[in-house]
Amino acid sequence: MMLLTLLMVLKRLLSWIVVVMMIGTDMKVFSKSTIGEGHVKDGKPCQDYSLSDQAYDCSLSVIIVSDGHGGKPYFRSHIGSEKACVWPWIASRNL
């Protein structure tokens, strides 16, 4: 319930967040976030963040992706986007 509440609060701060947990899969997971050309040109940071993790025996995979708000008023969205991924990941470590 606490994780759900946290995700609802973060949803208000970010464009979107996706948390995927897969149990008993045989696949390998990875994540990559890349800064867009427009952000490079304007000197803005990448406002997106993603991470993935997997149990050593592939019994649990976690993929978390967050898209920060663009636009001038959201100049800290890259920080919120990272936190939106890291906090659920920390919670998943206890599973």
Q: What angle do CA 85, 66, 39 make, to 5 degrees?
A: 120
What is the token pair recorded at 65?
A: 């992706």
Which DSSP symbol is given to 45? P
Residue-wise pLDDT tens for the chain (95 aa)?
A: 445 555 555 555 555 566 666 777 677 777 888 888 888 898 888 888 888 888 777 777 788 888 887 777 878 888 888 888 888 778 777 76
Whether pTM exceeds 0.75: no
Q: What is the rounded distance in angstroms from the CA atom of residue 23 to the CA atom of residue 64?
A: 15
